[in-house]
Amino acid sequence: MPKIAKRLPKFLTAQQMEALLDAPLKLVPSGAKPPARIRAEFLCQRDIAILETIYSCGLRISELCGLLASDMDWNERLVRVRGKGKKERLVPIGEPALAAIKSYWSFLPQLPSGAAPVFFASARKLRPVPARTLQLRLKKYLALAGLDPQLTPHKLRHSYATHLLDAGADLRSVQELLGHAHLVTTQVYTHLTTERLKRAYDQAHPRA
């Protein structure tokens, strides 16, 4: 049987990611009464923290939903992630994501602590946010940012990998960060970095 050609993963540009990360702020009503406004602000801060964490760490939705408070090492700026096959890996997390998490946690009735509490809670209940809820809210934010609402949360992971490679990260490091068991799985992203290769060629080749 002939091999079926692999589709290249879709991803967002850095500018599109910025627009998406700002989108939850648009859902906070300016003239709402206190209870409604507090809930809207809570969901806004939570969803900004979720989007920042997915993009900062390149997480799968299942990995994000499985995060516990004890998985964060604030001093080292590392997150323990449980991936496929129950394999664990440590992933760096950036300052914007850390700041967003702290802002979100300030809205919780009590700070997550110990080994049991989940990292991202549903509404004001300390239960994990369902993956379906994240998918639906992402569609809303994509539309608010003027982007295709059919894009899935996994496209944020694709964007993470593509932006790392575009900035010069090596393929092996990206493989480890994504938690891929085989390098061939990560190699699909190299097809998305042709613009970086073209720029390197134009700058370096004497006959470009």
Catalytic-role residue among 46, 60, 155, 158: 60
> What residues contact 60, with CB distance under 8 A and at least 6 apart?
83, 84, 154, 157
Q: Which of 84, 127, 172, 198 is catalytic?
A: 84
What Å distances lie between residue 85 and 53, 62, 88, 110, 173, CA to CA? 22, 12, 9, 32, 20
Distance in angstroms (rounded) separating the CA atoms of residues 166 and 158: 12
The yes-or-no answer on residue 205 being catalytic is: no
Out of 46, 137, 155, 157, pick the active-site residue.
157
Determine whether 189 is an active site residue.
Answer: yes
Residue 125 a catalytic site member: no
Among 55, 104, 141, 189, the one annotated catalytic: 189
Residues with Cβ within 8 Å of 165's Cβ and at least 6 positions away in sequence, in order, are 171, 174, 189, 190, 192, 193, 196
Active-site residue (options: 10, 80, 89, 180): 180
Q: Based on the residue annotation, tell me whether 77 is a catalytic residue of this protein.
A: no
Catalytic residue among 39, 80, 82, 154: 154
Active-site residue numbers?
A: 60, 84, 154, 157, 180, 189
